[in-house]
Each structure stands twice: as structure tokens, then as C-alpha cells.
Amino acid sequence: MRNFLTITLSLWGFIAVSQNKQILYGFDAVPQSLMLNPGSEVTHKKHYGIPFLSQIHVNGGSTGVSVFDIFKEGNDNINDRITQQIFEMKNTDFFTATQQLELINFGWRAKNEIYFSGGIYQEFDFISYFPRDLAILAWEGNRDYMDYEFDLGELSTTGDFMTVYHFGINKQITDKLTVGARLKLYSSMFSYRSVNNSGTFVTTLGDEDSANIYEHTIKNADVSVETSGYASLRELDGASQVTSKILGRAFFGGNLGVGVDVGFTYRLSEAWTLSASAQDVGAIFHSKDVESYSAKGNYTLNGINLIFPPLNQGDSTFPYYDDLEDEIEREIPIDTLHNSYTQFRPVKLNAALSFGFGRFNASGDCDCLNMDGGTQHKQEVGLQFYSIFRPKGPQMAGTFFYHRRVTDYLSAKATYTVDSYSFSNVGLGVSADIGKVNFYIAADNLIKYNNLAKAKSVSLQLGFNIIIDEE
Amino acid sequence: MNKTLSLSIFALFLSVFLISCIKDTDFDQAENIALTPIVELDLIYFNIQANQFFDSINSNPILTVRDTTEIRFLDDTGLQESLKRAEFYFKFTNSIPRSFQVDFQFLSETNDTTYVAGTSVAEGAPATPVITEFIENVEGESIVEITKANKVVVSVTIPSSDENLEGTLNLKSKTTYFLEY
């Protein structure tokens, strides 16, 4: 238990942020910006991601607490700090972790001026809301909480591990408008979710007429966990077997799903540009290796009622304990179901309004990068909006950005983001072309990099591509 | 802008990552993390009628009645490791005009006695029940013994009885478990 806690606490704030890639969005020097908006303007002719290195993305966050809050040096007791944090946090606080790894990414401009792109990436996504009441119950017990109704519905968590195959098209339709769409096939390797739970647990002091000292009551319980890809793992022995089984599902071996990304970029005027995209509008259909557990009902526990039956030598009394267990199982049955279920992907929305100034010419006077008449600006400032749909409603973020094309081989983007985690998130991304090799790195919460422990979220993307520009 | 300048910007950026660190934290404190919940839970309850102490068929008094129940959660490995103290609270309400000796004998799976506790219960009257409270605090070495038990035998002994005896002996009980994970 202690080890589990240590690991959990250590991971808070380290693994991943809420999938917001605010730096990469609209950062057109990086081919992966096309993954965030399939309708972004593409300036190059071809790109190939270097396999397994084209995008490494990790992102972790916690809205209520940072590692520093728990592990800071000091004379006060760590347990007092945890107690304080548990009580300060709300049941809408959450922990998230996201990780993505691109296996393949490629794109090319066809003769009809459509830019095709496709690839495969693997994604892990986890979110858990803070089950405050259950944390209090585990941390303090029920002694000081007589008559307090612990809310079982605060339990809300999902986790997914999948491979995504995608293919997209992008075309500049008019001088002003570029649109794009991307079709995605999901192959889910492992998935679980426990959402929309309800019910309460309360301990009340009984009165004269009560059967026993207390009444422990579970009221209107409706708690469920849906899993897919889990049941078959239980039988396996050891981590290596589990790993090979899961990876075996990566290539269409898992539960399949389908989704789309759509987006556009529209030049409102010479200086102003509007863009928006929706990602992962789709669902995964879990039908193979599905196992769900559901517990529903009401029960009041009074303890064990001894009858003192008259017994002859050798007779045994009633199986009180077994009867009690049977009674609980009868009142709050735990059903194991194998029903297929559909899981909607968390839809992500991005939008940006930018103002550009300073005409950017990569080499001399000719506007070589933009044969079709569009203009790239040397500098852009603007606002971005990001939203992801989560079990308890959307999580949103607003970003102010400054994007600068320094030279034809170097561009940079700086962001200031306000989100659920903090009001002081400054990020920076750099994309450099060394020959045909493009390297980019983007990270946020830079202010906290002098002490990562204080950061409530960390997001990092980096990768290598080969980019072939228009001749 | 020349190449040197842009490379230096790039180098600066990389250095941000290189100097990033975790400061003023002490992860050894994780060793000291301890969950210390205090759990209140009902234990057993009963109502023994006075006539249960007399065999009306054979006209014989029954001086001791016994019953046994499993309490399988008690010798669970998880509880064995984390239970630091257990405080048993028994509340007798006696309306039988006799005093009682009540004994609790904790037995392991192999029926070895691991812990015993007992109390006398004050004499009552049908019209004026008398309450006797009894607290048994178990900690230290005794915790190791009691968590080897998975059943408890309750024996209720009456000094004398006859067919006209009236009243009820009621027990309510609970345990406070002081845990540490």
C-alpha cells in the first residue's frame, strides 16, 4: 500500500498534461502541426517522419496538487501535508497522463495540389478525478465522520492504450481557404472506464431500538467498471507475457474504432487568419475480450446476530458469517457482464485567431514558399482556444502566442497558457532544419523548469522529420 | 540573422532543459507516509430470552449457553499487518434478575485459543433493565494473537435458573480498529 502511494504521488505531475499541444498548433514548420489541424497550410512538398522518432509526446498534470506540495523539505510531517491537501482538493480536481509515440508519419503533395498524409501512432491516455470522499475514508476512516454521507459517485476514471492508423487530405481551395480531413482507425489494446457512478456510504449511531450500536448503510449504489482487453490478461503469468499479448493487439488485433479529424484555415484579410479543428470525433466499439462489473443496490450492515440455538453435542451452529456474505451479495450483487459497449473518444477542439506582420521571404525576393499566392508573415501574434471533453465536462485552455520565423531553417513559438492547472504556463517551441532533417522540441511550463516539482503540469513534444520543400 | 545567432538561440533553449531540475524536495519522506484510518464497525449482537436458560422438556436448568461465529476478516493477512490496536466495546442491557458471566474466546482456524476476554454482567429486573458496559483494549503483542483468530465463541453463564425466570439479556457491540498502512 505504501509503495503504491509512493509511486502514485511521485507520478503526480510527471507523466503527461491534458493533451493540449498549444505550441505545436499552427506551428507550420513542423509537419506534426497537421495532426492537430488537418486543414492547416502546408508549405512543404513532402515529409517523412523518422520512424519512432517523429513525435514523442508526454504530458502529465494534476489540478489540485504538485509534487512539491507533498514532498517539500520541512520540519512538518508529510502526513499532515497530505491530510491538508486531501481536504483542500475538490472532487473536480483531476490527474491526467498522456503519452504518444509516432511510429510512422509521412506526407506528400500530389499533382492535383492535394497534400496527403498518413501514419501510425500509439497513444496512452489516463484521467482520474480526485475521489475526495473515498480518499478521506481511506485516510481517516469513518470514526470522525458519523452521519457523513461518503459519495461513491466521485469515482470517475478512464484509461486507454491504443494504436491509431490515420490518413488525411489537405487542400487549399481558394486563396483564402484551406481545408482538410483525416480518417482514423483505432485499435484499442487495453481500455477501462468507471464513470457515471453513484451512491453513498454512511455510518450512523443507532438508537435504543436499533439492532446494534451502529448502522452502516450503502444507499442507491450504482458503481460500474467497464474493461476491454483485460479479462484475457488475468490468466497470464508475468509482465513479459502481458506485454507481448498487449503489443500483439497493436496491429488491428484489438477492438476497432473509427473517427475523423476536420479543420480549416481561413485568411480573413492580409493580416488576420482564423483556424479551427476538431480531433477524434469518433468511437471505439469494444466487443472482444470485454468484461464489465456492476454493483447496484442498498444494504444496511448491523453486524452478526447470534441466536444461541439449543445444540446437541457435535451439532454446529448457523453459518452466520457465510449468511452475512450471501445477504450482502444478494442485496448488492456484483454482476460480471460481457456486453459490447461503445466508447466515444474524447473530442478535442482547437481554434486560433492570429495577426501576422512582416512579410517572410525565405530566400531573396521571390516568394518561393508560396507558389499559390498565400503570404507567410515573419511574425504572428494571436489567441488560441483548446477544449477536450472529459467525463465531468470539458476542460478548456486559452493561449496567447507569439510565432516567429527567424530564418528559413529556424522558427520559434512562445506561448502563455491559462488552463485548469495554472495561470502561469509559459511554453516555447523551436523547429530547426539542418539540411533536410527537421528537429523540433516544444515544452510548456518553462517557468517551473528550475524546479519541476512545483509544476502542476508538464507537456513535452519532440521529434525528427525529413522535410522536402517545394523546388 | 546569421547562423551563429540562431544556433545560439537553439543552444539556449536546449540548456533550459538541461538545467531543469527538482529542488527543495525530499523523496525519502515517502518512507514516512502512513495511512492511519480509524474504522468503527459493528461486531455481534444478540437477545437471549430468560427461558433459553431452562430446558422445559427435561425440567433442567441450562447454566451456560454458547454460540460461535466466524469473523474471517480478522485473520486476513492485510489486517494482520496493518492493525495496531483494536478496542472492543460491549454494551449489555439485562432485564433478567440474575448476574451473568460472559466470555469471548477467540479461536484460530485450527481451533487453538488465541485470545480470551470476559466480563460479569450486573443483575437486572424485568421492569428496570440494567446496563453494563465493557471495553477490551487490545494492542501490542496481543494484536498478533487476536489477528490469528477467525472465529469467536461467546459463552453466557447464569449462576442459577428456573422455569419462571423472565427477561432478556441484550448485547450490542462494536470494534474500533486503529489501522496503519
Of the candidates A75, A96, A78, the one whose C-alpha atom is nearest the C-alpha of residue A86 is A78
Listed in sequence order, the DSSP H helices in A352-403 are none
Region B123-133 average pLDDT: 93
Q: What is the mean pLDDT of residues A354-380?
A: 65
Interface membership of B88 toward A (CB under 8 Å) = no
Instruction: Scan for cell 450512523, then name that residue.
Output: A204
One-letter identity of residue A169:
I
Residue with the larger pLDDT of the pair A6 and A239 = A239
What's the mean pLDDT in A53-82?
A: 78
Q: Spell out the domain ranges in chain A.
A: 2-469
First-to-final CA distance of chain B: 61
Q: For an interface test with A, give the residue of B3, B18, B23 to mutate (most A CBs within 10 A).
A: B23
Check pLDDT > 70 for residue B14. no
Strands A304-306 and B38-49: parallel
Residues of A in contact with B27 (CB under 8 A): 10, 71
Long-range contacts of B134-137 (CB under 8 A, 24+ apart): B134/B89, B134/B90, B134/B91, B134/B92, B135/B87, B135/B88, B135/B89, B135/B90, B136/B87, B136/B88, B136/B90, B136/B104, B137/B85, B137/B86, B137/B87, B137/B88
Give pLDDT, residue A296: 93
| Residue B71 vs residue A373, higher pLDDT | B71
Closest residue in A to B14 (Cα–Cα): A441
Q: Quick check: A449 and B16 CB within 8 A?
A: yes
Residue A364 has pLDDT above 50, yes or no: no
In a domain, B125, yes or no: yes
Structural domain count of chain B: 1
Separation between Cα atoms, residue A128 and residue B8, nearest integer Å: 41
Supply the pLDDT for residue A9.
39
CATH number of A2-469: 2.40.160
pLDDT given for residue B12 in this prediction: 58
Chain A residues within 8 A of B26 when measuring between CB atoms: 71-73
Strand A341-344 and strand A457-469: the pairing is unpaired
pLDDT value of residue A378: 86
Q: How confident is the model at residue B4 (pLDDT cuts 50, 70, 90)?
A: low
* Residue B30 within any structural domain of the chain: no
Residues A95-111 have a mean pLDDT of: 90
What whole-number distance in Å separates Cα of residue A208 and Cα of residue A439? 75
Question: What is the rounded radius of gyration, in angstroms, for the C-alpha atoms of chain B?
Answer: 30
Residue B100 to residue B120: CA distance in whole angstroms: 6
Q: Give Rg (Cα) of chain A.
A: 27
Cα(A221)–Cα(A301) distance, integer angstroms: 14
Lowest mean pLDDT among A144-153, A238-247, A411-420: A238-247
* B10 domain residue, yes or no: no
CA distance B58 to A257: 77
Using CA coordinates, name the residue in chain B closest to A442.
B13
pLDDT in tens, B86-105: 999 999 999 999 999 999 99
Q: Is the pLDDT of residue A241 over 90?
A: no
The shortest C-alpha distance from A208 to chain B (Å) reads 10
- Predicted pLDDT at A7: 41
Whole-number average pLDDT of chain B:
87
Nearest CB partner across the interface for B33, out of A79, A203, A453: A79
CB A354 within 8 A of CB A379: no
Q: How far apart are CA A104 and CA B11, in angstroms?
A: 28
For residue A350, give the H/E element and its range.
Answer: strand A348-359
**Which residues in chain A are contacts of B174 at CB distance < 8 A?**
212-214, 303
Gap from B22 CA to chain A (nearest CA, Å) = 5
Work out the end-to-end distance of chain A between its first and last CA atoms, rounded to an integer number of angstroms: 61
Residue range(s) defining the domain that contains residue B57: 35-179
Q: What is the DSSP letter of A72?
A: B
User: Which CA distances in Å does A311 have to B52, B62, B64, B125, B151?
Assistant: 12, 12, 12, 28, 18
What distance in Å separates the CA atoms of residue B163 and residue B52, rounded to the nearest whole number?
A: 10
The residues in B 94-123 lying below 8 A from A, measured between CB atoms, are: none
Single out the residue of A335, A343, A330 nearest to residue A299, CA to CA: A330
| CA-CA-CA-CA dihedral for A466, B1, B5, B6, to nearest 10 | -20
Any idea what the CATH number is for the domain that residue B90 is in?
A: 2.60.120.660
Q: With CB atoms and an 8 Å threshold, state whether A304 touches B45.
A: yes
Put the strands of the sheet holding B149-157 in their side by side order.
B64-70, B149-157, B100-108, B113-121
Question: Under an 8 A CB cutoff, do A78 and B32 touch?
Answer: yes
- Could you tell me which residues come within 8 angstroms of residue A341 by beta carbon, excluding any fewer than 6 positions away? A226, A228, A286, A290, A292
Residue B120 lies in a domain: yes
Put simply, whether the predicted model's pTM sits higher than 0.95 gets the answer no
Give CA–CA dist A353/A394, Å, rounded: 21
B175 found inside a domain:
yes
Q: Answer whether residue B154 shows pLDDT above 80.
A: yes
DSSP A280-310: EEEEEEE-SSEEEEEEEEEEEE--EEE----
Residues A142, B39: contact at Cβ < 8 Å? Answer: yes
- Sequence-distant (≥ 6) Cβ neighbours of residue A256 within 8 angstroms: A185, A186, A187, A188, A284, A285
Model confidence at B130: pLDDT above 80 = yes
Task: Write the ipTM.
Answer: 0.84
